[in-house]
Amino acid sequence: MNNPLLKVENCGIQFGGLKALDGLDFSLNSGELLGVIGPNGAGKTTFFNLLTGVYLPTDGSLFFKSNLLNQLKPHQINQLGISRTFQNIRLFLNLSVLDNVCIAFHQHIQYSLWDVICHRKKYIEEEKQIKAKALELLERFHLHETKNELAKNLSYGDQRRLEMVRALATRPQLLLLDEPAAGMNPTEKKELIELIRHLHQELNLAIILIEHDMSVMMQLCPRIIVLDYGVVIAEGTPEYIRQHPAVIKAYLGEKKDAKSL
Amino acid sequence: MTEFIQQLINGLAWGSIYALIALGYTMVYGILRLINFAHGEVYMIGAMTGYYAVHWGMGTGSLYHLLAVICIAMLVCSLLGWAIERAAYRPMRQAPRLNVLITAIGVSLFLQFSGQYIFGADPKPFPALIENKNVLDLHGVVLSNIQVTIFVSSIVLMLGLRYIVFNTQMGKAMRAVSYDHTASYLVGINVNRVISFTFILGSALAGAAGILVGLSNPTVNPLMGLMPGIKAFIAAVLGGIGNIPGALIGGLIMGVAETMVSGYLSGTYRDALAFIILIIILVVRPQGLLGKSTQEKV
């Protein structure tokens, strides 16, 4: 039996008296696409922060490719192969589009300061390679024409895509997308769905997707987890989730309350 | 007019030394939002290294000796800068900024007074690494070979710094970290390593500045870092702290202004001038000459 790519065992985090996440327990196989939904404040982004090492879990353990993540630093987790985007775009707005992508290759550089000072071949070749790879990625996402623009001058949709390119440039096996469709118009959403599907199928990338837009979720994710107040209240196919009484309750409130309004 | 041009040249030479020190302040500020008050002491250690390198058998007199001494001082200072960050600032990474600032003052005092203990408090004559000659004499305007050395070395070092910051992956990582720590480590950048690297670069420049000062100043002593350190800090604020070209311009303005004041008014106003500049800049343009609130910071 294959080990799952990601294994979350009874994981939780507490901020003071508040249990932001509690008893999270599931696993994800490589190449799987998982959706996470839940009302605001349910702990979805906290879950990503746990996975990427921004927060340390107070209970339970996280395994990625059989490595325990609990004690690792965020950049080490990234180097293992987990990469993410942010709910609010966090690009390096003061750098050019190309540099934003080049930075993501940082962990793979081999040359030292000494090679730079002596202007050795090793350094020149490596810089060239990084640039070429970054350009290739940008081209695939149709961002290469803006490569010399500062990231802050891009349109919102392009910034979202650039953030995905940057996440991909770290060569992840698991990509975490935090509300990638937020603020996009229907055309952009459609393109985004195509893009995610394409990434998932062609690169065989495992993806966890947080999204509020149910239509996006229904089209993309064969499996969805629903969080509410830090606990998983339902898990299953989109159809199952849509019918699930606990999910309806979490989103719409109890029937009695709804009527009394 | 002759005197004015002469003062200008002297001021620019002095100013490029300030600029070298100011670059260290500005880079560390850009990346950690910390005023590293120990930076002036790193520069003092640079000068001391030069003194001891010659004292313990390095020869003098040729350009090669000078280059070798500069390299040794840069090496020693980058080690010191790395150690300061590692021992004093890294444990304080999550602490409030005021605590880190006080730590910086503590490190500064520690280095000053352990310097007095180890090297002795008396001023030491800095060896003449190269013989002072005038290379140019144009209607009374004199340019000495020491000034030429200062100009050339600072220009080379600053161009090198510029190249590293803008063209190499490490430099890009520095700019990324200065913009957003969290986003940086989430794309796999080892933020602590980048911070160490910044300290190493800045301290190496301060080390070189220490030797260059030794060329034009007759003596070195363990407290010599204090005033130039503060003045270079003011130069960095003047140019817009966190801004690399700003540090350069601020340093040059500072050097020229000081020489002009001591040339035309009186040497006693020299130190007061730096603080007058600081007060004026904080009142009129607190973000500095080149600083903008959205300016790229390294």
Residues of B in contact with A84 (CB under 8 A): 186
Q: d(Cα B193, Cα B174) in Å, to the nearest integer?
A: 10
* Residue A41 falls inside a structural domain: yes
Question: Domain range spanning residue B80?
Answer: 2-284
Give the count of domains, chain B: 1
Considering the domain architecture, whether residues A115 and A16 belong to the same structural domain is answered as no
Nearest Cβ partner for A99 among B172, B182, B190: B172
Per the listing, tokens 């390679």 go with: A129
Q: d(Cα B50, Cα B73) in Å, to the nearest integer?
A: 6
Considering the domain architecture, whether residues A46 and A7 belong to the same structural domain is answered as yes
Query: Closest Cα to residue B189, out of A144, A72, A76?
Result: A76
Tell me the CATH number at B27.
1.10.3470
Per-residue pLDDT tens digits of chain A, which is 261 residues long: 467 899 998 888 988 888 888 888 888 988 889 999 888 888 888 999 999 988 888 888 899 998 898 888 999 999 999 999 988 889 998 889 999 999 988 888 878 878 888 888 888 888 899 999 999 999 988 888 998 999 999 988 889 889 999 999 998 999 999 988 888 888 888 888 888 888 888 888 999 999 888 888 888 899 999 988 888 888 889 888 888 888 888 877 665 554 444
Dihedral angle at the C-alpha atoms of B106, B111, B116, B118, nearest 10 degrees? Answer: 130
Nearest Cβ partner for B175 among A78, A95, A117: A95
Considering the domain architecture, whether residues A179 and A76 belong to the same structural domain is answered as yes
- pLDDT for B130-167, tens place per residue? 888 888 888 888 899 899 999 999 999 999 999 999 88
Alpha-carbon distances, residue B162 vs B27, B155, B172 (angstroms): 12, 10, 11
pLDDT number for residue B198? 95
Nearest Cβ partner for B188 among A79, A102, A116: A79
For residue B66, give the DSSP letter. H
| DSSP SS3 for A88 | coil
For residue B59, give the DSSP letter. -
Q: d(Cα B16, Cα B18) in Å, to the nearest integer?
A: 5
Contact B186 A103 (CB under 8 A): no
pTM of the prediction?
A: 0.88
Mutate: best of A73, A83, A92, partner B, most B CBs <10 A = A92
Instruction: Decide if B156 touches A, using CB distance below 8 A.
Output: no
User: Percentage of chain B surpassing pLDDT 70?
Assistant: 98
Considering the domain architecture, whether residues A162 and A202 belong to the same structural domain is answered as no
Tell me the CATH number at A217.
3.40.50.300
* Residue A144 falls inside a structural domain: yes
Question: Domain range spanning residue A139?
Answer: 93-171
Q: Taken in order A148, A152, A158, A160, is the CA torsion positive or negative? A: positive
Residue ending a domain, among A118, A140, A171, is A171
Considering the domain architecture, whether residues A193 and A142 belong to the same structural domain is answered as no
* Residue B294 falls inside a structural domain: no
Interface of B with A in 235-294 (CB under 8 A): 294
Which residues have CB under 8 Å from B64's CB, separation 6+? none
pLDDT number for residue A259? 46
Q: d(Cα A109, Cα B73) in Å, to the nearest integer?
A: 28
Instruction: Decide if B176 touches A, using CB distance below 8 A.
Output: yes
Considering the domain architecture, whether residues A186 and A255 belong to the same structural domain is answered as yes
* Residue B293 falls inside a structural domain: no
pLDDT number for residue A2? 65
Q: d(Cα A135, Cα B133) in Å, to the nearest integer?
A: 53
Considering the domain architecture, whether residues A45 and A97 belong to the same structural domain is answered as no
Considering the domain architecture, whether residues A103 and A139 belong to the same structural domain is answered as yes
Considering the domain architecture, whether residues A25 and A153 belong to the same structural domain is answered as no
* Residue B289 falls inside a structural domain: no
Give the count of domains, chain A: 2
* Residue A87 falls inside a structural domain: no
pLDDT number for residue A254? 62
Residue ending a domain, among A171, A196, A216, is A171
pLDDT number for residue A260? 44
B276 φ, ψ (degrees, to nearest 5): -60, -45
Considering the domain architecture, whether residues A166 and A178 belong to the same structural domain is answered as no
* Residue A86 falls inside a structural domain: no
Tokens at B142, concatenated: 């004199």
pLDDT number for residue B293? 58
C-alpha B153 chain-centroid distance: 13
Considering the domain architecture, whether residues A159 and A176 belong to the same structural domain is answered as no
Considering the domain architecture, whether residues A221 and A117 belong to the same structural domain is answered as no
A235 φ, ψ (degrees, to nearest 5): -150, 135
Q: Would you give the end-to-end CA distance of chain A in angstroms?
A: 52
* Residue B244 falls inside a structural domain: yes
* Residue A247 falls inside a structural domain: yes
Q: d(Cα B249, Cα A170) in Å, to the nearest integer?
A: 38
Q: Which of A142-156, A169-183, B191-205, B279-293 has the highest mean predicted lDDT (pLDDT)?
A: B191-205
